């Protein structure tokens, strides 16, 4: 996960490497051989790991936000706004999302006072993924992620 954040920072010429929710997909490979997961079906370990990471994100999201307080963000998407996120998306693209989606700036501010694009990108992805896992936003996972 951190390795992907560093790779993205180098590739995009970013000053800071800051892991994001979209980097969690790389955690499955890092778990291989380090923890033993017993499943009834062969090959379900990666699916189980993905489920555990989704549950962890949702639990942490719930400790920061009540979904109702993000209703303006949800409404913005209901009105047709879209957001493209992903592990390869450059961090400087994220502050524009914050400016264009009502309520997202206050949600990001609740998570961090750091206004560097890398920190903003991590906060935006966390908020959007939390809303998706709370079944408030739809997400197209083809490619990286479009909400």
25-34 pLDDT, tens digit per residue, is 887 666 666 6
Please tell me whether the overall predicted TM-score, pTM, comes out greater than 0.85 for this model: yes
Total domains, the chain:
1
Q: What is the pLDDT of residue 145?
A: 47
DSSP 20-84: -GGGGGGHHHHHTTTS----SSTT-HHHHHHHHHHHHHHHHHHHH--GGGGHHHHHHHHTT---E
- How high is the pLDDT of residue 35? 61
What's the pLDDT tens digit per position in 7-19? 999 999 999 999 9
Structural domain of 25 = 2-146
Give the residue with greater pLDDT, 21 vs 28: 21
The tens digit of pLDDT for each residue in 76-117 reads: 999 999 999 999 999 999 999 999 999 999 999 999 999 999
Check pLDDT > 90 for residue 56.
yes
């Amino acid at each position: 996960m951190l390795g992907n954040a560093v790779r993205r920072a180098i590739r995009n010429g970013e000053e800071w490497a800051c892991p994001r929710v979209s980097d969690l997909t790389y955690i499955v490979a890092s778990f291989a051989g380090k923890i033993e997961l017993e499943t009834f079906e062969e090959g379900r370990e990666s699916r189980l790991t993905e489920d555990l990471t989704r549950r962890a994100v949702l639990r942490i999201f719930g400790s920061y936000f009540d979904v109702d307080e993000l209703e303006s963000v949800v409404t913005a998407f209901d009105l047709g706004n879209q957001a493209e996120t992903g592990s390869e998306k450059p961090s400087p693209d994220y502050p524009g999302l914050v400016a264009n989606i009502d309520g997202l700036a206050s949600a990001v501010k609740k998570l961090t006072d750091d206004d560097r694009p890398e920190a903003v990108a991590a906060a935006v992805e966390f908020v959007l993924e939390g809303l998706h896992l709370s079944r408030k936003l739809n997400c197209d996972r083809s490619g990286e992620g479009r909400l």
